[in-house]
Structure 1
Amino acid sequence: MSKKIYVAYTGGTIGMRPSDSGYAPGGNLMGLLEDKLSPEVMASLPEFQLFEYPQLIDSSNIRPDNWQHIASDIASRYAQFDGFVVLHGTDTMAYSCSMISFMLQNLHKPVIFTGSQIPLCEARTDGLENLVGALTMAADERIKEVCLYFNGRLLRGNRSSKLNAYLFDAFDSPNYPWLGREDIHVELNETLLWQPKEAETFQLVCDSETHVGIVQLFPGINAQWMASALNQPMDAFILRTYGTGNGPDADLALLDTFVRATTSGKLIVNLTQCHRGTVHQGSYAAGSALAKAGIVGGLDTTTEAMFCKLHHLYSLGMNSEEVKVQLSVSLAGEVSV
């Protein structure tokens, strides 16, 4: 039996067209695809239904309300289709993949995000290959998770990051192997694919205002600057540190700022600025000092996935102590435990 795939076009470069201000989201994507692909090629693809969102966005404008819309859209059509493709802008695609993986846990069907670096309206577009590849992956019943397909690579969505703004090779998963790739043959590493532990668990609540802030250490950072950041009305902060989770342990005023924030109930999660690696706060004294200040290590989770995981858990009504327990729990394959 042939698979039936639902394609949600949310916006992004893939369907953009030139404007006086540069590329901007454009409609009638199906018409553009029919212009680019012959009827014979269209007939060879998995059967798909494309739905164009009424308000197409550049993904730089993504907000939690958009995540709730996407997750609710997939959930409402879950029984009707065998797989799902989300066409999305590349700038925040790793965030959206991550959030949808937490909102739609224990999937038994594939949800594949993709997009392009060059719009379909251009001759050198990468959008056709990415869409065809995503449709192929969405029809593969071995995949039961949210993935990102781009330039021949299949990545776990909540392990992915955008690492290049200029190459077709835009995404990678720094701390987890690729799940598969498409060359002459489609190859999946089945031992790496996420296996649902129970029936689908869809938690569609996603608060409109974010609960999470992101701050980054830099040489010369001081307590006054950090206090100003941590005084923002957020429940949690991601602190992007050096190396394996190190910070300036000689600055007692800065450490005291962290202590005041954590004792007041704010959760601060330590993630490394390094492209690859995991946080071990006890490897160096500079990391141990952060742990003593109440900062919690985030292991090898990406910044994008941690941001979305924290927002998801607080949206469910958890308090900081309950959220802290979940940081070392793999909800959808986002962390090595």
Structure 2
Amino acid sequence: MSRKILIINTGGTLSAVMKKNGLIPGLSIHDMQKELKMVSGDTDIEIEDFCSVDSANIFPEDWCALAQKISDCRNDYDGIVVIHGTDTLAYTSSMLSFMLRNINIPVVITGSQLSITNPVADAMENCRCAIHMAASQIPGIFVAFNRKVILGCRASKVRSLSFDAFESINYPNIATISSLGMKIETAAVPERTGIFKLANTYSDKVCMIKMFPGIHRSFIESIAEQGYKGLYIEAYGIGGMPFLKHDFIGALDKVIQNGMTVVVGTQCRYEGTKMDVYETGKRAMAIGALEARDMTGEAALTKLMWILGMTEDIKEIRDFYSINMAGEMSKI
């Protein structure tokens, strides 16, 4: 019995065409139907356009609508593939991991570094991988790219030009494709922890900043003045921030006391934070900052947006953030 797969197109490079001002998404899903059927094997595919945009133009409201669409369709298909631009793909796969937690089918996001119209493109291979992962009957949110499958909340774009654009951060690949076929590491797939219930709310009052030598505490004050409720900081190393000349941690103390949720991550791609080692990290934890641990920046940010969309209760926020919801963080 062949699997029934829905392919949803949101645009991106995979569907791009050259126009006067450069490459833009221009192919509809029906324009790509022949190529998609070539790589679908014995699966029964249906295709649908959701939108057609460069992924730089994907916003949280699009995540909300896409999650609703996937939720509505989940019982009619064995799996779903989402075609998406690469620039914000990891943010989308992370947020869908939370909004669609415990979904009962595979949802696989993919894209490409070259348009499907280019004869040397990676597009068809990425679609082939995504379609067959969607037919695997292994539920969850995944990213398929360059002959590997990554857990959605562990994916990050690490190269801007290479076909090997995405890596799984601090977590093993879910599957790889070689001359032996697709090998799925079932032990790496997070177990469903409950029934599925769509949770596609979010807060748009979340900000992200990156530490740099010379950053001033006025950044924090201005963010609070603009009404932001959450802040994700890419700190140094395992969670370092200044507390001497410009008392950044002191400024964080004030906004946390006034109700803002602050999460501290790291600028380092791998291995995550460990804020109980140095004085600077211990100071941040003492004032109530939360620790991103080994989450990707994309997962840490979207998780904060998602939680603040569900509750404003400080204790509930802290509890939610400290729990591994979708495989986004390792056990302590």
Cα RMSD after superposing both structures: 1.7
Partner in structure 2 of residue 21 of structure 1: 21
Of the three residues 145, 150, 170, the one matched with 1:150 is: 145
Q: Is the 8 A contact 1:215 1:229 kept in 2?
A: no
Partner in structure 2 of residue 90 of structure 1: 86
Of the three residues 72, 78, 87, the one matched with 1:76 is: 72
In the TM superposition, 1:247-286 aligns within 5 A as 247-251=241-245, 253-286=247-280
Give the counterpart letter for 2:101 in structure 1: Q
Give the counterpart letter for 2:145 in structure 1: F
Of the three residues 155, 160, 164, the one matched with 2:155 is: 160
Partner in structure 1 of residue 2 of structure 2: 2
Q: Is the 8 A contact 1:211 1:310 kept in 2?
A: no
Partner in structure 2 of residue 306 of structure 1: 300
Give the counterpart letter for 1:276 in structure 2: Y
> How many equivalent pairs are there?
330
In the TM superposition, 1:123-142 aligns within 5 A as 123-141=119-137
Shift of 1:88: 0.5
2:84 paired with 1:57: no
Q: Distance in 1 between matches of 2:298 and 2:71?
A: 23
Q: Which one is further off, 159-168 or 18-27?
A: 18-27
* Residues 1:43 and 1:269: Cα distance change in structure 2 (over 3 Å): closer
* Residues 1:42 and 1:60: Cα distance change in structure 2 (over 3 Å): closer
Q: Distance in 2 between matches of 1:3 and 1:59?
A: 29
Give the counterpart letter for 2:316 in structure 1: E
Partner in structure 2 of residue 48 of structure 1: 45
Shift of 1:303: 1.2
2:7 paired with 1:11: no
Shift of 1:121: 1.5
Q: Which 5+ residue runs of structure 2 have no aligned equivalent?
A: none
Q: Deviations over 1:74-126 (max 9, x none)?
A: 11111110000000010000110011111111122100000000011112211
2:329 paired with 1:332: no
Normalising by structure 1, report the TM-score: 0.93
Q: Deviations over 1:183-234 (max 9, x none)?
A: 2211011111111122222223345xx1210011111222223422443321
Q: Is the 8 A contact 2:241 2:249 kept in 1?
A: no
- Give the SS at the match of 1:121: coil
Q: Is the 8 A contact 1:134 1:149 kept in 2?
A: yes
* Residues 1:43 and 1:317: Cα distance change in structure 2 (over 3 Å): closer
- Give the SS at the match of 1:234: coil
Of the three residues 115, 118, 125, the one matched with 1:122 is: 118
Give the counterpart letter for 1:243 in structure 2: G
Q: Is the 8 A contact 1:245 1:281 kept in 2?
A: yes
Q: Distance in 1 between matches of 2:202 and 2:217?
A: 33
Q: Distance in 2 between matches of 1:168 and 1:9?
A: 20
Shift of 1:2: 1.1
Q: Is the 8 A contact 1:270 1:297 kept in 2?
A: yes
Q: Is the 8 A contact 1:213 1:234 kept in 2?
A: yes
Q: Is the 8 A contact 2:29 2:48 kept in 1?
A: no
Q: Is the 8 A contact 1:150 1:169 kept in 2?
A: yes
Identical-residue share of aligned pairs (%): 29
Shift of 1:172: 0.5
Partner in structure 2 of residue 173 of structure 1: 168
Q: Deviations over 1:37-90 (max 9, x none)?
A: 7x7x4673411101012x311110111111111111111111110000000010
Q: Distance in 1 between matches of 2:140 and 2:53?
A: 25
